[in-house]
Amino acid sequence: MRKRLALAHLPTPIQRPKRLADAMGVDLYVKRDDMTAGPEAGNKIRKLEYLLAAAREEGADCVITCGGLQSNHARATALLSAGLGLRAVLYLRTADVAAGAPFEGNALLDRLAGAEVRLISPEAYRDREAVMAEAAAEIRAAGGRPYVIPEGGSNGLGALGYVRAMEEIRKQLDLGLAGGKPFDVIVHASSSGGTAAGTALGAARYGVAGEVRAMAVSDDRATLARVALQLMDDARALEPHLGAPAHLVVDDSARGPAYAVATPEQRQRIVQVARLSGLLLDPVYTGKAFAGLWDLAERGELAGKRVLFLHTGGLPGLLAQGASFADSM
């Protein structure tokens, strides 16, 4: 087994939001991975347990990663790195580099953690791997020991975080929680593919679900499916005991007009979910994914199925877009 740091508060609970489930007509459960920690919470911490362990093992004193301006992954990396005594360098994508990073949401937390924020245009971000490799070379030349973490923590090693999450769910089911039997489908938001890859591999390995539906929030279905399949191969190369994955369906029907831009209907769903269950979803990831799940329910595609929604966090991103909800209340 690969080394990992115990950074998350585990196991996270599986809850059944009855009023919400009844409103949707779905046998719905929610895996609360928005509760993996405090301000660093969300799905990224499970990946970072492995990635930061590797950084420590290599003797790194600095980590370099990237994401959008309000990246949950960058925020989690910054906060966890601070606790471990590692310098964090974050390349954050924004259409207006000259405007600087705002003092709100994840961008505020990045600064509070002492991360070095380097804003980058969407055009330059397309070559993010080369950009981070160049930064690592500069840091090494100055005597530092950098470790590069890919976007979203999504590589074969990071994907193992969600293989382990499925093992955790299996143990919860074995205790009789959440009905004590496997789910028919797991639904979650997906952007960089690591959570989808690990969940599909782990769901099959531990008999948690026969299907994983990754709701794309950024790239189209074909692109995300290709990335997830490659990450599964990379994870299996690290852990040869992992076999064939659960059936992975990549669904891009709810990705909205652009990354981090939700439709008015999706924002309304976020409000409905909060008022029916107290669950807080964000307009970047979980809100879009849950809106897509609700659409599936309305079409009758989830009738008679046990459904687990994987809540991957994202609260700071919701708070950063508060003004956009003015017409949804």
Both structure tokens of 67 = 């994401």
* Residue at 248: amino acid letter: L
Separation of alpha carbons 54 and 147, rounded Å? 9
213 pairs with which residues across the strands? 187, 249
CB burial class (10 A; 0-12, 13-18, 19+) of residue 329? exposed
Selected catalytic residue, list 71, 191, 192, 218: 71
Separation of alpha carbons 267 and 226, rounded Å? 29
Query: Has 328 been annotated as catalytic?
Result: no
Catalytic residues: 71
